[in-house]
Amino acid sequence: MCNVEVEVSEAPGEKTVGVDLGISNFAALAYEDGHAELYPLNCLKQDDYYFSKRIARCDDSDSEQATRLNQKKSARRTHYFHTLSKHIVQRCVDEGVGTIVVGNLSDIREDEENSESKDWGKHGNLDLHSWAFDRFTNLLEYKAEMDGITVDQVSERDTSKSCSCCGRERKANRVEHGLYVCDECGAVTNADVNGAENIRQKVSPSLATDGGDRSNGWLAQPSTFLFDKETGAFAPQEQITS
């Protein structure tokens, strides 16, 4: 075994960013200084649909053709994870982030209240079992370390039910998928970004929850980055033409 010492950069800054991994958006990011980003799962879902159809047409699920299709699907998913983790780390370098706070998803299939298996719906359960959250987080940790950025994993308990602006906890505040409305302070936020901000605050509480005056408009209007299959990179939604 050969141990190679790799040079690690100094942290690009002292700011924090929260990362919420989920079903609709693979990642939602909430930055300390007040902006947010979404990374939809569309690309992986399209691949799942495409390869599932192709594999279903094979004479045998264990055939050489089916095996090749599964390998290609896996390779594309691996490329997506590598590209996304690299992109997020670069965004953190650009934004002066020294700490990435990620929700620990080790108990994602367990209900927070009664410890029974959650039912995410037919498609949700299929997606959930096929995701490699740990794999992605490991890639993120490795790439972040190279740039001097620390990755902290924290419990996701109650992060989807609590208002990141006032701290009010109520499951009914998530009125529909993608939208969170607080009946206490009136904040209207993107639900995934709200979760990401709650995750970030577990390491670095914001002025908002400490009684300060910080606008929450950015929570409702995050930037969206899409994976462009032609370039093999992520770009803001308005720059994707195909």
Mean pLDDT of 108-120: 46
Note the Cα 179 to chain centre separation in Å.
Answer: 16
- Cα–Cα distance, 209 to 17 (Å, whole number): 16
Structural domains counted in the chain: 1
Give per-residue pLDDT as tens, 115-134.
444 444 555 544 544 456 88
What residues pair up with 30 in beta bridges, in sequence order? Answer: 18, 36
Confidence (pTM): 0.82
**pLDDT band at 172; cut points 50, 70, 90:** low
Task: Examine residue 89 and state whether it is found in any structural domain, yes or no.
Answer: yes
Q: Does 177 fall in a domain?
A: no
Q: What span, in angstroms and rounded, lies between the C-alpha atoms of 198 and 18?
A: 8
- CA-CA distance, 231 to 39, in Å (whole number)? 16
Establish if 174 belongs to a structural domain. Answer: no
CB 69 within 8 A of CB 60: no
Task: Give yes or no for a contact between 70 and 51, defined as CB atoms under 8 angstroms apart.
Answer: yes
Q: Any idea what the CATH number is for the domain that residue 113 is in? A: 3.30.420
Q: Which of 48-52, 87-91, 95-99, 176-180 has the lowest mean pLDDT?
A: 176-180
Q: Is residue 24 part of a domain?
A: yes
Residue 31 structure tokens: 């930055």
Q: With bands split at pLDDT 50, 70 and 90, how would you rate the model's confidence at 239?
A: low
Q: Is residue 101 part of a domain?
A: yes
Domain that holds residue 112: 15-155
Q: Looking at the domain assignment, is residue 165 inside a domain?
A: no
Percent of all residues in the chain with a pLDDT value above 70, rounded to a whole number:
76
Per residue in 13-24, pLDDT tens?
Answer: 999 999 999 878
% the chain with pLDDT above 90: 41
Q: Is residue 32 part of a domain?
A: yes
Distance of CA 90 to the CA centre of its chain: 15
3-state secondary structure the chain: CCCCCCCCCCCCCCEEEEEEECCCEEEEEEECCCCEEEEECHHHHHHHHHHHHHHHCCCCCCCHHHHHHHHHHHHHHHHHHHHHHHHHHHHHHHHCEEEEEEEECCCCCECCCCCCECCCCHHHHHHHHHCCHHHHHHHHHHHHHHCCCEEEEEECCCCCCECCCCCCECHHHCCECCEEECCCCCCEEEHHHHHHHHHHHCCCCCCCCCCCCCCCHHHHCCEEEEEECCCCEEEEHHHCCC
Q: What is the mean pLDDT of residues 160-184?
A: 80
CA distance 156 to 195: 8
Beta-ladder partners of 35: none
Residue 53 phi, psi (nearest 5): -65, -45
User: Is the predicted pLDDT of residue 224 greater than 90, yes or no?
Assistant: yes
Furthest-apart CA atoms within the chain: distance in Å: 63
Q: What is the pLDDT of residues 184-213, one digit of tens each?
A: 888 889 999 999 999 999 999 865 444 444
The answer as to whether 28 is a domain residue is yes
